[in-house]
Structure 1
Amino acid sequence: MGLFDAISNTFSGSSDDIWDTISQPSDLESIVDKSGNRPQLIYKHSNRCSVCFVAKGNLEQSSKQLLEHADMHYLNVVKNRSASDSVASKLNVRHESPQVILLDEGEVVWHASHGKIEGSKILEQLS
């Protein structure tokens, strides 16, 4: 997927049903709790970063397969800075964007950033 396709997908609004939005620090508690029953994927995104648009597009391309195994959560790190800081501190994962964090049974089991964010790599972790 190219940069322009990723940007188009991001602004089209067609992906809204894929993501549960993280908008405040307390949302993280619920996500950690849910990970006891089903893996949870947190995607951290900045609208100021072109790499983020490509990463988000890649995840959305793989969303059908990913959603079979995990819930997907979207965090706009610029708009919701306090939630982003909470994710970094409570999960003990250094902040980056774009970034994917995979939780299972209350623990971070895998995380990646930038060009390492690929649906196929996440699916390997979920298998």
Structure 2
Amino acid sequence: MKRWTLVALLILALGVAAFARPGHTPAPATIRVRMIQQGSQYKFDPANFTVHVGDVVEFVNVNGFPHNVQFDPAHIPQGALPFLMRAMATKMAPNLPASPMMTRPNEVYRINFAGAPVGTYNYFCLPHQALGMKGVLTVAQ
């Protein structure tokens, strides 16, 4: 009898283990940032936000173009410049962490933050930087 009980418990334990889910990792999120003009104001909406390593940021050109997104190399985490140079597939110039100019309504520029160093990244729109079109993107684990 003890033997059958032991066998039954072993089968039950194996069955539970087979259907148990390992630690669930959330799917990467997509964060949409609108690039807009409202009257005389040019801005990113939202301007300041947090992403997690692996998330994707979509910069959407709504109106008031041309716009781009450019990161300030003096205000990004250590090791972030090589990451941005790889993550930004198309750039305004080969040695700048800057997207090309976006001139069409609803044009989208995506950056995948998989493997990004954590920390704060200051960014801006080159044509409208003097008008305050800037923000801070924070990458968290």
State TM-score, norm by structure 2: 0.25
TM-score normalized by the length of structure 1: 0.27
From the two aligned structures, give the one with the greater helix fraction.
1
Q: Which has the higher contact order (CA 8 A, sep 6+)?
A: 1
